[in-house]
Chain A
Amino acid sequence: MNQQFKVGDTVRVRRAYPPGHVRAPYFSRGKTGIVDEIAGAYRNPEELAYGRYDGEALPLYRVLFRQADLWPDYDGSAADTTIVDVYENWLEPAEGGQG
């Protein structure tokens, strides 16, 4: 599998808000996290959802976010994290720390 990112890379979920079937959760868009795991490669659900079954497999990443980065009013521990599954087409490289 040919993937753009490796475990430990800092990535940002693209800040895009198209209509249609999107699997990257709204709350994750524009947020920066770290690749925690590469979950394999699967055909793009955004295409499958419209009956187009013949696309290439896309790498799927488990991206680790700090809860405090996801929610502006988060009042739990600064060490709290959450993991979101994000397909490669929704990720871009990001610099340095999270935020």
Chain B
Amino acid sequence: MIRVRRVHDIGGLPAGPIDRSEPEHAPWEKRVDALRALCSRHKLMRTDELRRCTEDLGYGVYDKLPYHARRIASIANALLEKGVFTVDDLGRKMEAVERRWSKER
């Protein structure tokens, strides 16, 4: 029998010690949280959809990316699915931001 155990469903697996230090959040991480709150307020996605998109990142991504990177990746995937923007829109915007950012530095 094929037993699918999704990457997030880790209850009972060995995990090592818990890091109890308080994380410092970078400004971009706070923007990710703000974006997520706005998406909910505008009813663009439900928590269940965001969870599913996060799990869908799968092995090799979900378990490698830090929390907020995982979160923005799954928000992007959810909004692509919903047709809020297209892959082309997102690609062009990322390109523009990167250009602006490298000029500013």
Contacts and interface: CB of A to CB of B under 8 A. Distances in A.
Interface of A: 17-22, 25-27, 45, 48-51, 53, 70-71
A50 B81 CA distance: 10
Contacts, number: 42
B46 interface: yes
Interface of B: 1-6, 9, 11-12, 46, 48-49, 51-52, 55, 81-82
B2 A48 contact: no
B76 to A, nearest CB: 16
A49 B1 CA distance: 25
Contact of B49 (A20, A22, A51): A51
A13 to B, nearest CB: 13
Contacts of B3: 17
Contacts of A48: 46, 48-49
B79 to A, nearest CB: 12
Contact of A21 (B1, B5, B48, B82): B48
B53 to A, nearest CB: 9
A27 B55 contact: no
Given A17-B1, A21-B55, A50-B52, A70 B46 contact: no
Contact of B52 (A21, A25, A53, A70): A21
22 contacts: A17-B3, A18-B4, A19-B6, A21-B48, A21-B51, A21-B52, A21-B55, A25-B11, A26-B6, A26-B9, A26-B11, A26-B12, A27-B12, A45-B48, A45-B51, A48-B49, A49-B46, A49-B51, A51-B49, A51-B82, A53-B46, A71-B12
